[in-house]
A and B are shown apart, each in its own frame.
Chain A
Amino acid sequence: DSGVTQTPKHLITATGQRVTLRCSPRSGDLSVYWYQQSLDQGLQFLIQYYNGEERAKGNILERFSAQQFPDLHSELNLSSLELGDSALYFCASSQGGHSSYEQYFGPGTRLTVT
């Protein structure tokens, strides 16, 4: 158990809908990362937050947004969902915001868009 929690575990929704994925980092970790893993795109870095502020952006679509709250939990919002958004979404946390810190991954949220 990495100490990172993600809810929900599974999510099934229809095209055009909006969903919110939630991540709680390990106690003491200030940085949260979001990743998407799909069969055709592989594992992709989406976005990083550190202590409430956006730190780095990867291949995140404009339809997606994220935020980190004062209690350090983070939410990833996916809107106008398309079939291609079906994927496993991982959250990870680390103590600091720099690459030198080890990342701990949550179990993931499996999103299915029908």
Chain B
Amino acid sequence: AQKVTQAQTEISVVEKEDVTLDCVYETRDTTYYLFWYKQPPSGELVFLIRRNSFDEQNEISGRYSWNFQKSTSSFNFTITASQVVDSAVYFCALSEARNYGQNFVFGPGTRLSVLP
């Protein structure tokens, strides 16, 4: 069975600090996808990144970076020089890739508060 753990329930940082959100997953499949989503206070869900299980390259997008390590089943998300607008709940998710469609499992989310 699939499972996603986000051990950090809430994190508070001061603006301009770097922060890392942890995500640990469990799956028996060898082919799967990992995702990060952002849910700002306004409530909408925003897709941030998708990574497949065969691509362990780290990715950087502006102030955001992701570290995928299959050996530890982790897909951590780092925000560099955090800003108040980064305050949101962040969800990590796992999907097993199947021909007949996908089945998503979300972590419980990490609430990030960036203080001015």
Interface residues of A (CB under 8 A from B): 2, 33, 35, 42-45, 48, 50, 55-58, 88, 90, 92, 97-100, 102-105, 107-108
Q: Are B106 and A56 in contact (CB under 8 A)?
A: no
Interface residues of B (CB under 8 A from A): 32-33, 43-47, 50, 52, 91, 93, 95-98, 100-106, 108-109
Q: Are B101 and A48 in contact (CB under 8 A)?
A: yes
Q: Are A105 and B106 in contact (CB under 8 A)?
A: no
- Residues of chain A within 8 A of B33, CB atoms compared: 99-100
Q: Are A58 and B100 in contact (CB under 8 A)?
A: no
- Residues of chain B within 8 A of A57, CB atoms compared: 103
Contact residues of A: prevailing secondary structure: strand
Contacts A2-B44, A100-B50, A105-B47 known; 17 new A-B pairs at CB < 8 A: A33-B104, A42-B109, A43-B91, A43-B106, A48-B102, A55-B101, A55-B102, A56-B100, A88-B43, A97-B101, A99-B50, A99-B95, A99-B102, A103-B47, A104-B47, A105-B45, A108-B43
Give the residue name and chain of the A residue nearest to B108 (CB).
A42
Q: Are B101 and A43 in contact (CB under 8 A)?
A: no
Q: Are B52 and A108 in contact (CB under 8 A)?
A: no
CB distance from B92 to the nearest CB of A (A): 11
Q: Are A45 and B106 in contact (CB under 8 A)?
A: yes
Tell whether A100 pairs with B52 under 8 Å between CB atoms, given A43-B91, A56-B100, A108-B43: yes
CB distance from B94 to the nearest CB of A (A): 10
- Residues of chain B within 8 A of A99, CB atoms compared: 32-33, 50, 52, 95-97, 102
6 examples of A-B residue contacts, CB within 8 angstroms? A55-B102, A56-B102, A88-B43, A92-B45, A99-B96, A105-B46
Q: Which of B43, B100, B104, B109 contacts A45 (CB 8 A)?
A: B104
CB distance from A66 to the nearest CB of B (A): 13
- Residues of chain A within 8 A of B100, CB atoms compared: 55-56
Q: Are B103 and A105 in contact (CB under 8 A)?
A: no
- Residues of chain A within 8 A of B44, CB atoms compared: 2, 105, 107-108
